Structure 1
C-alpha cells in the first residue's frame, strides 16, 4: 500500500471520528437546558442587570463541541452599579476583586441549588481569568462561568471566521481536542492546552504551510504536520506565535516584555491573542514542554504508519493517538453510545416539557442577542 493510500485511510478515519463524535440533537438539547437553568439562577441572584452569554466551542459554527467539552458562560453586568459587597450600588468600578466577589456569590447560589454536583463546585480565583467551575448533576455537562470576560466573546467571533477560511481546521481541532482530553491536558487552568490556544496553533501552522488545506487528504496531512511542527520544529523558548502577523516573533526583542528567565522554566509558550495583541493566551499552559514532547512521540508513531510495507494496526491509524486496545476507537465509541441510550431517553423525558430553548449552533452575534431575553419554561 502506497504512502498516498495511507494518508487517504487516515483522512477517512478522521472524517468518521468527526461524524461519530458530533453531539446528537438530544445532547445539544441537554446543553441548552443547562444554559437555561443556569441563566435563571444567575438572574435571580444578580437581577436583570446581569446578562449571561455563551462563548467558546458552543458558540462556534460549525460546532467544535465534543462530549467532554466545557460549557463556557460569561456574566456581563453594569459595572457602575456594583457595590463592595457584591450588591448593586452606585459609584463602584469593576475590578478583578469585584468579579471574584460576584463569582463567590454565584458559588453560594450553586451550593444552595440542586442543579450541580456539589463536590464539583470550585472557584479558581488565581487564574488569569477567574472562573467558577462545576458539573451539572443530571446531564454531567461541565460548566465554566466567568464575569465580564469580553475576550471570550471576541475569540468566538475570530474562531468562526477561521472555520470558514480553513477546511481542515474543524476536523483537526476535534481530533486534537479529544487527544488532549484523553491525556488530561485539555484545560488551561491545570497547565494544559485549551481549545482557543489549540486553534491558534493550528491556524499559525496553516499560515506557515498554506498548501495544507488544498490537498484531498488535508486533514490527515494537517494532523501529522501539526505534531511534527510543534514536536520538532518550532522553538517556543525563543519565539512567540502571532496569528495576527502570521509569523513568529523573537521574545528577547519584543516590546511587550513577555520573555523573562522565569518564563523559560515555567511557561515557555507565548501566543499573542489576535483579538487583543497585549494578551498572551499561552500564559497558563505551564505543561507545554511535556505536551510538545508527546506531540513528537506520537508523530513518530503516525509517521511510521505512513511507510509502505508497515502493517496497519487493528484499531486504525488514528487509534494510536487514543492509546486504545485492539478493538479500536470506533467500536469503543459505539459501545459507549449503546450504554448511553437509556440515559438519553430518560433525560429527554424529563425536559420534554421545556420550550423556547436557544440554539447553541447560532452565530456568536445571534447568541449575544438571544441571551438578553428571558427564556420561559413550561413544566
Structure 2
C-alpha cells in the first residue's frame, strides 16, 4: 500500500494512524452555525485511567482453573491468552481482504495508473478486533475525490478528509453492509509506511516479546482514547519504538533470557510491569530522546528537540528519517504517563492468591460493542452477506469514460456491437427482424455476397453491367463510385 508526481497517485496506502497537531482549544467557527450545536462530553480528570464499559475479558475462558506460583506467572498466561484471542479469525481476514479489494477497485476507477498497498497494523498483523486497514495540494484533491466515490459506492457514510495533517488522510469506517467494524485511514503518495514494514519485520523476528507487548499496550491505550496521534495521543509507530527501546535497554537489568525467550521463561507479565514502571516513573523525558536505530538514549539538545514550553515532551527519533521527531505530536504525554503509573500500581498491588484469576482484566478489557461487532462480522461472512454487498449481482461496468479521461473510449466493446450481423438496405425491409438504429452505419453499403435469393437489383448503379460472380469488398465499391 515508488512515488511519482500527481495528478495520478502512484500508490494509496492504508494505515491506522497519522500524526498531526491537535486543534486549538478555543477555535472560532469559520461560519455561523446552521444547526443546533451538540453538547460536548465533559472530560473528567480520571478519564486516562478509567475504561467505563471495557469490562469484558473473553480470553479468560481459555485458561481454565490453574494454580500459579506468582502473580507474574499468572499475568504471563493471561497475556498469551489475550494475544490468541485478538488474532484475526478467518472471517475477519476474509472481510478485510474483501473491503480492501473493493476500495482498490474504486481507487483504480478514478486513478487508473495508481497502486494500492496496505501497511501499518494490518500489514504487520498487529491490529485489534476494533481497528481494521506528492504534492500536498494535489494529494488533498485526490483524497476529496476518493471520499466522494467511497460515499457513492456505499462503503462509508462518515468518510472525512484530514487535509491539514502532516500526511493528509481519509479517515472512515465501513457501513453496516460492509461489516461496520472496519476502520480505515487512507493516504496518498506516502512512502514511509512501506519502509516501516521492512524495518519492523526484522525487530519482530529478533524480539519474541515485542508483538505480545504491542497488542496489550495498544488495547490499553485504545480503551482510554490515548492511542490516536490525530488526537495528540500515542500513535502505533511511536508506541512500537518505545517498546523496542525498552527491550533494547533493559532498564531493570533482567537476565537476558527473560527478554530473549519470554515464552519459555513465562516472563511477559514481568516485562509488562517493568514497561509501565519505566515509562510511568523513571524515563528521563526532560533530557533524553529515544533512538531505536542506535539502541540508546541521547540528549535532546544534540538534535535541537528540547522545547522550553514543554520540557517534559516525548521525543523519539524516527527509524526511517533520523532528523524527524515522531513523538513531538504526542502532546498528551502527561495523561499517558498517568495511565502507565495507575496501571503499574493496580497490577503491583493486586492481591494474589493461588487461585487468583483475571489479573490483566484490572487494566484491560473489551467493550460489549466490540464483541458484538466481531460476532456480527462472523455471521456476515458465514452467510455470504458481505460478499454480496461487495459484489452485487446486478453490477455492470459503465459504458461511458470516467471523468478526466478526455473522451478515451473504454477498452471493451459496447453492447450494441454484440448483436447479430446487420443486413444491408435495398429499399425494402430485411428478410428477418425489424430495422434497428444500431445498424444504420451498415445499411449504406452493399452486401458482401449477392445470392439468388435476393430480389432484382440495379447492379449498374455500382458500375457493373451484369450480375457479379465474385465478392464485392467495401473498398472496391468506393473505388468504383469515385471512378464513375
> What is the TM-score when the length of structure 1 is the normalising length?
0.76
Question: For residue 306 of structure 2, what is the aligned residue in structure 1?
Answer: 259
2:147 aligns with: 107
Q: Is the 8 A contact 1:231 1:293 kept in 2?
A: yes
User: What are structure 2's unaligned runs of at least 5 residues?
Assistant: 1-65, 392-484
Equivalents in 1 of 2:248, 2:290: separation in Å? Answer: 11
- 1:298-313 to structure 2, matched below 5 A, reads 298-305=343-350, 310-311=352-353
Give the Cα–Cα distance (whole angstroms) in 2 for the partners of residues 283 and 190 of structure 1: 13
Residue in 1 that maps onto 2:159: 121
Offset of residue 283 of structure 1 = 2.2
Tell me which residue corresponds to 1:91: none
Give secondary structure in 2 for the equivalent of 1:58. Answer: coil
What runs of 5+ residues in structure 1 fail to find an aligned partner?
72-93, 355-379
The Cα of 1:150 is off from its aligned counterpart by 0.8
Q: Whose radius of gyration is greater, 1 or 2?
A: 2
Q: Distance in 2 between matches of 1:104 and 1:33?
A: 23
Does the CA-based 8 Å contact 1:241-1:249 persist in structure 2?
Answer: yes
1:294 to 318, 336, 339: 339
Please say if 1:249 is aligned against 2:298. yes
Partner in structure 1 of residue 330 of structure 2: 285
Q: Deviations over 1:77-134 (max 9, x none)?
A: xxxxxxxxxxxxxxxxx32222222212222222322111x1x211112222111101
Q: Which has the higher strand share?
A: 1
CA distance 1:189–1:338, change in 2 (3 Å): closer
Task: Using the TM superposition, give the Cα deviation of residue 177 of structure 1 relative to its aligned residue in structure 2, in angstroms.
Answer: 0.9
Give distance in 2, aligned partners of 1:3 and 1:16.
15
How many Å separate the matches in 1 of 2:94 and 2:116? 18
Instruction: Count the aligned residue pairs.
Output: 315
Structure 1 residues 110, 230: CA separation in 2 closer, same or farther (over 3 Å shift)? same
In 2, the alpha carbon distance for the partners of 1:199 and 1:99 equals 28
1:29 to 87, 91, 94: 94
Change (3 A) 1:310 1:332: farther
Conserved 8 A contact 2:317-2:324:
yes
Does the 8 Å contact 1:240/1:250 carry over to 2?
yes
Tell me the distance in 1 between the aligned counterparts of 2:386 and 2:238: 38
Alignment of 1:337-356 (within 5 A): 341-347=378-384, 350-351=387-388
Whether the aligned pair in 1 keeps the contact of 2:245 and 2:295 (CA below 8 Å) is yes
**Distance (Å, rounded) in 1 between the aligned partners of 2:348 and 2:220:** 17
8 Å contact from structure 2 (residues 169, 186) kept in 1: yes
**CA separation in 1, counterparts of 2:369 and 2:148?**
39
Instruction: Note if contact 1:115-1:136 (Cα within 8 Å) is conserved in structure 2.
Output: yes
**CA RMSD of superposed structures (Å):** 2.8
User: Does residue 321 of structure 1 match 2:359?
Assistant: no
Q: Cα–Cα, structure 1 residues 230 and 3, in superposed 2: closer, same or farther, change >3 Å?
A: farther
Deviating above 4 A after TM superposition, structure 1's stretches of 4 or more consecutive aligned residues are 1-4, 311-315, 329-341, 351-354
- Normalised by the size of structure 2, how large is the TM-score? 0.60
- SS in structure 1 of the partner of residue 274 of structure 2: helix
Partner Cα separation in structure 1 for residue 179 and residue 384 of structure 2: 8
Which residue of 110, 113, 118 corresponds with 1:54?
A: 118
Deviation of 1:69 after TM superposition, in Å, equals 2.1
- Given candidates 245, 253, 259, the residue that maps to 1:213 is 259
The whole-number CA distance in structure 2 between the counterparts of 1:163 and 1:122 is 33
Distance in structure 1 (CA, Å) of the matches to 2:315 and 2:377: 40
Give the corresponding residue for 2:23.
none
Give the deviation of 1:310 after TM superposition. 3.8
